Amino acid sequence: MLEMCTQERVCPSCKGSFFPEEKVVHKTLCGEDLVCSPPGEGYKAPDCKTYDFCSEKCLEEYESKLPTCGVVPGWKRYFGRINKVGSSSGIAGARPHQLRKYGK
């Protein structure tokens, strides 16, 4: 017999389990630790992902509790990643820009 290749999912609002073939509502939300609603339909950020809800009622209930995300410009996220790499330790505790000095 053929087995179904679907996975059972859990609704983030009511914590009920459901299958994707049943009634599923999709919503894109942003944030890693603190989930929030995106400010607009065209807003794209790397931490946004799609969540599945078991019903429209659960989606509305969950969305009513969420704050709206602040708009973070792309250049600010880009320079934040550069800052994180520049301040991280490299080989033997040296930062990436100091490696040439320690290599001699």
Tens digits of per-residue pLDDT, 4-39?
556 888 888 888 888 877 768 888 888 777 788 887
Span 53-79, pLDDT tens digits: 888 898 889 888 888 777 778 788 888
Separation of alpha carbons 18 and 10, rounded Å: 6
Report yes or no: 96 and 84 within 8 Å, Cβ to Cβ.
Answer: no
Name the residue among 43, 50, 28 with its Cα closest to residue 77: 43
Q: What local confidence, expressed as pLDDT, does residue 4 receive?
A: 56
Q: What local confidence, expressed as pLDDT, does residue 98 receive?
A: 59
Helix (H, G, I), strand (E, B), or coil: what is residue 50?
strand
Q: Read off the pLDDT band of 94 (50, 70, 90).
A: low
